[in-house]
Structure 1
C-alpha cells in the first residue's frame, strides 16, 4: 500500500470510529445479542469487529445507556442488550447532533459559505 492510500485509510478509520456509538444505538431499539448485532451492522455495510463491539456494549451498560439480560432458554445462553429510557434520550440527542453536523459538513465540502 502506498503512502497516499495509508493516509486515506487512516482518515477513514477515524471517521468510522466517530460513528460506531450512533450506529450501535440505532440498532438497539429492540433487544439484540452481540453476534446478531455484528451481523446486522455488517448487512448494513457497517462492519464492526467483536473486539470493538463488546467493550463498547459494556461501557454503554455501565453508563446506563443500555441494559442487558441473559436468555438461557435456547441452545446456548445469550446476553441481550437494549436501550434504557436514558439511552433512548441520548440516542435522540445524538441523532439530532449527527443531522446538524451532516448539514454543516455538506455545506463545507460543497465549498459554499455557511
Structure 2
C-alpha cells in the first residue's frame, strides 16, 4: 500500500475504533480482554492505540475505570458510564445511518441523471 493509502485508511479507521471500543464496554473489560474481544470480530487494535483511547474516553467521561486487586495481578477495568451509554447509542444510530448512505453511494444507486 502506498503511504497515502495507509494514511487515508488510518484516518478512516480512527473513528470506527472509538465506536468499536465503546460497543464492547457495555460490560467491564480490562485492556487485554478488550483487545481479544475486538480481534474476535476481526478488528485489530494495538495496545499503543487502545490505552490512549481509553484514557481519552475516560477524560471525556464516557467510560469509568476501577482497579480489581482480587487477583494476583491487579487489572484496571473500564466500563461505559451512564453518559457514555447515551453517547454510544447516539453514535451507533449515526453510524447506521451514515453507513447505509455510504453503502448506497458506493453501490452507485441514487445517481441522478445529468443532461
Would you call these one fold, judging by a TM-score over 0.5?
yes
Corresponding residue for 2:35? 38
Corresponding residue for 1:69? 66
Unaligned runs of 5+ in 1: none
CA RMSD of aligned residues (A): 1.2
Distance 2:28 2:15 in 1: 23
**2:72 match: secondary structure:** coil
Distance 2:36 2:8 in 1: 25
**TM, length-normalised to structure 2:** 0.89
Residue 26 (structure 2) pairs with residue 29 (structure 1): yes
Distance 1:9 1:32 in 2: 30
Provide, for residues 51-89 of structure 1, a one-character-per-residue CA deviation record: whole Å limited to 9, x for no partner: 111011111111110001100010200000000000000
Aligned length: 110
Distance 1:113 1:40 in 2: 37
Return the offset for 1:110: 1.1
Corresponding residue for 1:92? 89
